[in-house]
Amino acid sequence: MLTTVLEKMPNNFWQLLEQNGWQQHFTSKEDKRAKIAIIRTYTDFDKAKFAHFPNLKLIIRAGTGYDNIDLTEAKKRAVTVCNTPNANAISAAEHTLAFIAAMLKQQQPGKQIIQNKKWRETAQNCWEFAELKVLIIGLGRVGSRTAKLLQSLGAQVKAYDPYLNKAQFEKKQVTSTELEFGLGWCNLLSFHTPLTSQTYHYFSAKLLQMLQCPFWLVNTSRGSVVDIAAIKLALEQNKLLGAALDVFPKEPFNMPDFMRADKIYLTPHLGAFTKNAKERMAEETLQVWQKFVFENKIISEVDPRFTFRKK
């Protein structure tokens, strides 16, 4: 079944194709006859793209987030959309933890102090994990793994996730909270939601007013979940202890001046950029592909409730 690969895939993807003798099914060209398309983060599968591939039956999003695919159009055209939800969970949760550790231990301002030929008298206090009251927004694979890591280091953790019931929270061993209570309680806010019409600009000027304590902010989910202007406001209001962002509304990110502050920690969408995660992503992509092509089975179909379309 002709499969077009529209973005760069890890090396082991092509090796696996060769090992299995599947190369003849694949092309990197935008061949209109393709029945399957494999994409990653940066292909916008909008109406025009669907129109370009009239024979499409399946899109495999190598990775987790599928806000770049118009699910309404997919449904209209009877195209199934699948992703690889397990591949990046470890690396994204670890990326979150690393951001938090770097902020608590003042690693960025610490370097600046040395560069300015000063010493620790001019530094802010470092924090211990046990001082953290973490509110996780979205307790899926990455959110729950992050919660576990933080709990093991002594942080208090609560989570807000309107899609989970009591039994699911219990199974994940994380305390559930209502959003308003959680925002009043926490001193660290970490986002692990898909980008949907509901989560667009979740961190906003309005939400900022509901946070009662000076707070740390982490976003390793999707850039548009956080309104960058609200970060500026939080800095101006002196409420922000630090913000760590791996994802941005538009990538590559064109950084406004206030984002150069010592309190802002940035990485260029590296949450899934470990060797292991990339290899798993290629393997999971080909598992979805082979089930569909050889067994006519669909695995890892995305949840249509979590859909996003640009206004």
Continuous segment of H or E residues that includes residue 93: helix 89-104
Closest separation between CB of residue 111 and ligand MLT, Å?
A: 27
Closest separation between CB of residue 241 and ligand MLT, Å?
A: 26
For residue 242 the two structure tokens come to: 């630090």
Closest separation between CB of residue 273 and ligand MLT, Å?
A: 7
Torsion angle, alpha carbons of 122, 123, 125, 129, to 10: -170
Cα angle at 85 between 204 and 1, to 5 degrees?
A: 125
Interface with ligand MLT (CB under 6 A), residue total 8
Only one of the segments 47-55, 63-71, 137-145, 196-204 lies at the binding site for ligand MLT (rule: CB under 6 A); that segment is 63-71
Spatial CA neighbour of 1 closest among 35, 28, 43: 35
> Coil, helix or strand for 246?
coil
**Which one of 10, 65, 143, 223 is in contact with ligand MLT (CB under 6 A)?**
65
Spatial CA neighbour of 68 closest among 195, 239, 201, 174: 195
Continuous segment of H or E residues that includes residue 294: helix 275-295
Nearer to ligand MLT, 88 or 106 (CB): 88
Q: Is 63 in the site for ligand MLT (CB under 6 A)?
A: yes
Residues 169-198 that bind ligand MLT (CB under 6 A): none
Nearer to ligand MLT, 54 or 268 (CB): 268
Q: Point out the residue whose Cβ comes nearest to ligand MLT.
A: 63
Measure the CA–CA gap between 69 and 31, rounded to whole angstroms: 19
Nearer to ligand MLT, 63 or 242 (CB): 63
For residue 293 the two structure tokens come to: 């092509």
Site string for ligand MLT, 193-232 (x = CB under 6 A): ----------------------------------------
Q: Is 64 in the site for ligand MLT (CB under 6 A)?
A: yes
Kindly tell me the sign of the dihedral angle through the C-alpha atoms of 100, 192, 249, 234: negative
**Burial status of residue 261 (CB atoms within 10 A of its CB: 0-12, 13-18, 19 or more):** middle
Measure the CA–CA gap between 92 and 202, rounded to whole angstroms: 19
Closest separation between CB of residue 40 and ligand MLT, Å?
A: 5
Nearer to ligand MLT, 64 or 176 (CB): 64
Nearer to ligand MLT, 186 or 302 (CB): 302
Closest separation between CB of residue 93 and ligand MLT, Å?
A: 12
**Which one of 269, 285, 293, 308 is in contact with ligand MLT (CB under 6 A)?**
269
> Coil, helix or strand for 62?
coil
**Which one of 88, 96, 146, 193 is in contact with ligand MLT (CB under 6 A)?**
88
Only one of the segments 61-69, 111-119, 206-214, 283-291 lies at the binding site for ligand MLT (rule: CB under 6 A); that segment is 61-69
**Residue 15: partners with Cβ closer than 8 Å, 6 or more residues away:** none
Closest separation between CB of residue 88 and ligand MLT, Å?
A: 4
For residues 33 and 52, the answer to whether their CB atoms sit within 8 Å is no
Residues 102-141 that bind ligand MLT (CB under 6 A): none
Continuous segment of H or E residues that includes residue 264: strand 264-266
Side chain identity at 199, as an amino acid letter? T
Interface ranges with ligand MLT (CB under 6 A) = 40-41, 63-65, 88, 269, 272
